[in-house]
Amino acid sequence: MALLDAYTKPLTADQVAYLLRRATFGPTPGQIKTLTGQTAGQIITKLLADQPAPALPLDLKTSKTFTDQPFDTTNQGTFEAYIKMWWANLMLNQPVSLIEKMTLFWSNHFVTNDSTVNDYRYMYRYNALLRQYALGNFKAFTIAITQDPAMLRFLNGNQNVVGTANENYARELQELFTIGRNGGYTEADVRTAAKVLTGWADTGYRDVTTATIGSTFRANRHDTTDKTFSATYQNTVIKGRTGASAGLDELTDLVDMILKNVETPQYICRKLYRWFINSDIPDTVETNFIQPLADLFRKANFEIKPVLAALFQSQHFFDEALRGAVIKSPTDLVIGTLRFWGLQAPDPTQNITAYYQIGNYINARIKEEQQDLLNPPTVFGWTAYYQTGYYQQWINSTTLGLRGNFGDVLTNGAQKLNGKVVVDGLTYAKTMSDPTDPAKLVSDMTGQLLSIPLDQAQKDFLTDTVLLGSIPRYEWTSEWNDYIKVPNDTAKKQAVQLKLTTFLQYIFRMAEYQIV
């Protein structure tokens, strides 16, 4: 069986939940129910369907757009935060779609950050570009991101002019964005690529008089000489051009040249594999999964959708040995938890206060757990994604307690969002198959909440020690039935509610809840 062969059996509820936890920021119970019984191919078609562009973020104070207006120096920090909250709410409200997860993937690949760029309009435009090309063509994407004003600012492309070429973007284009460190390019190739890229500049930066931002090519600052590359690129010569179209023409030639290197599609496919399947890539996976996936990428003219379709419906993806191989990022943990419990951000045109309350809460939790949206710490992205083995960095001496506290606050009723308690253990327990039976209740709940199955000893411990606090199991049955008979009796309600709260807080702190 080839690893990339399609998995064609109808998916169980457990498999649907696994697929959506990896491909999105987590499923809702309704999505799991609706999609159970469909094949991976059918679900992938939904995940890859085009989505409409989202509405522009709004100013909380005025309910008006601000990214399409002149730069506001006074509200720079506020508007920067609104954009992050807007994106967090798009993730929270996502349909069955890959668009948000892939937008985050590309923000960790084609990295810029708001700390360096320092113009919220540039960062909004950058995010819009990521989602525009997230499921599109990688060649067109690379050409577009090279001209993006945020990228020009972040990697000094706006300072790259004939005679004093700035090599920063030319280096990262090859090392991080396309061919990778093992691609065999030389320092001379970096210098030569920098000459190809001379002449570009951003426009409208922090301009308080105009809403127009973008990039421009300055022909008089472009190196018009022929550019000769190393044997890694078959000694390709990019012909020097003059005139208004010279910059785009040479940029296109440069990207075409890089894409011809066999390592480029493999490098991108490895990053997708580590993001969606497993941080570790053994030789068998490299040979039997990465290489054929890279061949598909090349044959598809670097369209991204065919690669993702093959990855997510492969036999290898549904190998149960891979369950739990990915530690939830802060975004996966926070948004996935809130989505499971039914939280949605309201339409900002109807309730902008609640909209930003939810967005602010998500953004604050993600940031404190060390994944500040639109602000990766370095050009390499977030540390957990940078090198093989670093995925464990999501859980460290700082974030471990914060992850646990996140679950505690949601379950003890201390945090209300849009006027409601997020995690209602009592209501949830009533949806289980037999809440009178504590063992069955624990089995049902852990089956939904955890990504990997527990053995019987673990279930018994959770039942007898965590949920029941060592009381006999039959006492739970009596307490639950008493509560159901008189649901407004405070004492009877608390008898079961406190136990469920303790149980859920324990679940949220389990190692099994931190992985997917």
According to the 3-state scheme, what is the secondary structure of 415-431?
Answer: CEECCEECCCHHHHHHC
Axis-axis angle for helices 330-340, 399-411 (nearest 10): 10
Asked if 301 and 430 sit in the same domain, the reply is: no
Does 8 map to a domain? no
| pLDDT at 109 (0 to 100) | 97
H or E stretch at 485: helix 473-485
**Domain end position, chosen among 264, 296, 322:** 322
Alpha helices in 321-424 (DSSP H): 330-340, 352-368, 383-386, 399-411
Q: Where are the alpha helices (DSSP H) in 288-343?
A: 291-299, 304-312, 330-340
Structural domain ending residue among the three candidates 288, 322, 356: 322
Q: Confidence band (pLDDT; 50, 70, 90) for 396?
A: very high
Please check whether residue 396 lies inside any domain of the structure.
no
Q: Where are the alpha helices (DSSP H) in 95-221?
A: 99-109, 114-117, 120-133, 138-147, 149-154, 168-172, 187-196
> Has residue 343 been placed in a domain?
no
Instruction: Specify the range with the lowest mean pLDDT, choosing from 226-240, 404-418, 467-481.
Output: 404-418
Number of Cβ atoms within 10 Å of the Cβ of 67: 22
**By percentage, how much of the chain surpasses pLDDT 70?**
99
Q: Distances from the Cα of 394 to the Cαs of 35, 328, 378, 515, in angstroms?
A: 30, 8, 16, 11
Do residue 204 and residue 68 come from a single domain? yes
Asked if residue 385 lies in contact with residue 441, where contact means CB atoms within 8 angstroms, the answer is: no
**The model scores a pTM over 0.95:** yes
The stretch 291-309 carries a mean pLDDT of 98
Could you read off the pLDDT of 191-200 as tens digits, one per residue? Answer: 999 999 999 9
Give yes or no for a contact between 203 and 180, defined as CB atoms under 8 angstroms apart: no
The pair of structure tokens assigned to 496 is: 């079961």
Domain presence at residue 371: no
Q: Looking at the DSSP assignment, which residues form a beta bridge with residue 164?
A: 161
| Average pLDDT score over residue span 53-70 | 98
Distant-in-sequence, close-in-space partners of 125: CB < 8 Å, separation ≥ 6: 67, 148, 149, 150, 213, 214
Alpha helix positions (H), 197-262:
246-260
* Structure confidence at residue 1 (pLDDT): 46
Asked if residue 447 and residue 313 are part of one domain, the reply reads no
Select from 302, 322, 342 the last residue of a domain.
322
**Residue 53 and residue 165 in one domain:** yes
For 513, the token pair is: 């809840």
Tell me: do 317 and 454 sit in the same domain.
no
Indicate whether 42 belongs to any domain: yes
Question: For 401-449, how does the pLDDT look when each residue is reduced to its tens digit (9 = 90+)?
Answer: 999 999 999 999 889 999 999 999 999 999 999 999 999 999 999 999 9
Residue 63 above 60 pLDDT? Answer: yes
Tokens of 361: 């809460």
**What pLDDT does residue 388 have?**
60
Residue 110 lies in a domain: yes
Give Cα separations from 175 to 58, 182, 278 (angstroms).
Answer: 37, 8, 22
Q: Are 442 and 460 in contact (CB under 8 A)?
A: no
The CA distance from 411 to 369, in Å, is 19
Which range marks the domain in which residue 87 is found? 13-322
- Comparing CA positions, the residue from 226, 221, 223 lying closest to residue 159 is 221
CA 15-19-23 angle, to 5 degrees, is: 175
CA distances from 503 to 48, 272, 467 (A): 37, 36, 5
Task: Using the Cα atoms of residue 370, residue 371, residue 373 and residue 375 in order, give the sign of their dihedral.
Answer: positive
DSSP 33-80: HHHTTS-HHHHHHHHTS--PPPPPPB-TTT--B-TTS---STTHHHHH
Domain assignment present for 506: yes
**What mean pLDDT value characterizes the chain?**
96
Question: pLDDT (tens digit, 9 = 90+) per residue, 385-395?
Answer: 876 667 789 99
CA–CA separation, 286 vs 290, rounded Å? 5
Place of tokens 């390019």: 185
- What's the confidence (pLDDT) of residue 391? 78
Residue 368 lies in a domain: no
Q: How many domains does the chain have?
A: 2
Is the domain of 137 the same as that of 262?
Answer: yes
Alpha helices in 227-288 (DSSP H): 246-260, 263-276, 283-285
Residue-wise over 25-63: b if at least 16 C-beta within 10 A, else e?
bbbbbebbeebeeebbeebbeebbeebeebeebbbbeee
For the stretch 106-158, pLDDT in tens is 999 999 999 999 999 999 999 999 999 999 999 999 999 999 999 999 999 99
Is the Cβ–Cβ distance between 88 and 338 less than 8 Å?
Answer: no
